[in-house]
Amino acid sequence: MEVGFIGIGAMGVGMVRNLRKAGHKVMIWNRTAASLTELAAEGAEVASSAAACARNEVVISMLADDAAVEEVMLTPAFMDALGPQTIHVSMATISAALAERMTVEHLARGRTYVSAPVFGRPPAAAAAQLFVVAAGDPAALARCEPLFQAMGQRTFIVGDRPSAANVLKISGNFMLAAMMETLGEAFALTRKHGIEPAQFLDVLTSTIFPAPVYKIYGGLIAADNYEPAGFKLRLGLKDVRLAQEAADAAMVPMPLAGLLHDRYMTAIVKGYGDFDWAGIARLSAEAAGLPPQR
C-alpha cells in the first residue's frame, strides 16, 4: 500500500519503520525537516509538503496536539490535495471536538476520515507493539487494518464515529495521569518511612499491581529518572485538559481531573515540563522533604 506519513517524532520513527518492514511504500513529511534524515537514509521517500503525502492511498498523521493538526491538516492545501479514494487516518491524541470538526471537513469534500490513536510509548512503537483504538467508516477501517497490524499488536474498533476513539484514548490517558500521581504519593510515603523505592516497586508489581504500566512508570519513579522523556510532562497536562473539555461537553463531573490539572501545571512551572510525565512524582517527594535521588 502507498502511505503518506506526517509527523516524524519519537513515535513516528518506529511506526514508519514497521510500515516499511511490512512492505508498504511510505512517503514522509515533518514540520522540522531534520527529523527526516535517518528514515530517508533507510529508503523512505521524503515529500515536499504535507499536501504531497495526501495524494497516497492512505495518509497517516501523528502530530503533537490540536494546534499542530489545525496548522497542517485544516488548510486548503492539504484538504484539497486528498484524493477521492484517500483515507486520512489521525493517530495522534487530539480533542474529541477537533476529531468531530475533522470528520465534518472531510465529509464536506467527500473524503474519508478515521481516528486511530494508540496506546504505547516509543519502545512499543519501535517493536510494533502498539494498541490501536480505531473508529470510522467500516470499509475504511478494513482497508487500514493491514497498516494497523504492521504497527501494533491489536486493534480495537470502537464504532463508526471517529471522535469515539479519541474520547476513549483521552480517558485512558486521564487514568494514567491519575495512576502516576498516586504512585508519586505512595513512593514518597514509603521512602519517608525508610523503605527503598526498588523494594516497594518489586512488592507492588509482584502482587496487586502487576500491569506493565505500573512496572514501567513505577520503575521511572523508583529510579527518579525522567529524562529522556518517552512522553513529556507538558503533553500530560494537554491530555488532562482534553479530558476536562470532553467532560464539559457531555456534562460529566471529573473532580480528580481538576486536581491533576493543577499538579501538572505546578510541575511545569517548577521546570519539569520536559521530564517524562511520570516526573509528576517529584512534587510528592519535594513536599515530603525528600531530596532528588540522582
Q: Round to whole Å and give the CA distance between 157 and 180.
A: 27
The whole-number pLDDT of residue 150 equals 98
Tell whether 293 is covered by a domain: no
CB 153 within 8 A of CB 130: yes
Q: In this structure, are 7 and 54 located in the same domain?
A: yes
Q: In this structure, are 135 and 204 located in the same domain?
A: no
Which residues are the active-site residues?
A: 169
H helices of 110-229, in order, are 122-126, 138-151, 162-192, 197-206, 212-223
Q: In this structure, are 62 and 205 located in the same domain?
A: no
Tell whether 41 is covered by a domain: yes
Q: In this structure, are 109 and 179 located in the same domain?
A: no
Query: How many domains in the chain?
Result: 2
Q: In this structure, are 23 and 143 located in the same domain?
A: yes
Q: Would you give per-residue pLDDT tens digits along the chain (294 residues)?
A: 999 999 999 999 999 999 999 999 999 999 888 889 999 999 999 999 999 999 999 999 999 899 999 999 999 999 999 999 999 999 999 999 999 999 999 999 999 999 999 999 999 999 999 999 999 999 999 999 999 999 999 999 999 999 999 999 999 999 999 999 999 999 999 999 999 999 999 999 999 999 999 999 999 999 999 999 999 999 999 999 999 999 999 999 999 999 999 999 999 999 999 999 999 999 999 999 999 886
Q: Domain span at residue 206?
A: 166-287
Tell whether 292 is covered by a domain: no
Tell whether 75 is covered by a domain: yes
Tell whether 294 is covered by a domain: no
DSSP-derived secondary structure letter, 44: P
Q: In this structure, are 97 and 18 located in the same domain?
A: yes
Q: What is the CATH number of the domain that holds 236?
A: 1.10.1040.10
Tell whether 136 is covered by a domain: yes
For the four alpha carbons of 165, 167, 171 and 177, in that order, the dihedral sign comes to positive
Tell whether 109 is covered by a domain: yes
DSSP-derived secondary structure letter, 291: P
Q: In this structure, are 16 and 155 located in the same domain?
A: yes
The whole-number pLDDT of residue 293 equals 84
User: Could you say which of 160, 190, 218 is where a domain stops?
Assistant: 160
User: Could you say which of 139, 160, 181 is where a domain stops?
Assistant: 160
Q: In this structure, are 24 and 155 located in the same domain?
A: yes
pTM: 0.94
Q: Residue 172 corresponds to which amino acid?
A: G
Q: In this structure, are 51 and 190 located in the same domain?
A: no
Q: In this structure, are 62 and 77 located in the same domain?
A: yes
Tell whether 61 is covered by a domain: yes
Q: What is the CATH number of the domain that holds 21?
A: 3.40.50.720
Instruction: Identify the helix (H) or strand (E) that includes residue 22.
Output: none
Q: In this structure, are 212 and 140 located in the same domain?
A: no
User: Could you say which of 160, 182, 212 is where a domain stops?
Assistant: 160
Give one DSSP letter per residue of 53-78, joined into a string: HTTSSEEEE--SSHHHHHHHTSSHHH
Asked if the peptide bond before residue 291 counts as cis, ω within 30 degrees of 0, the response is no
Q: In this structure, are 95 and 120 located in the same domain?
A: yes
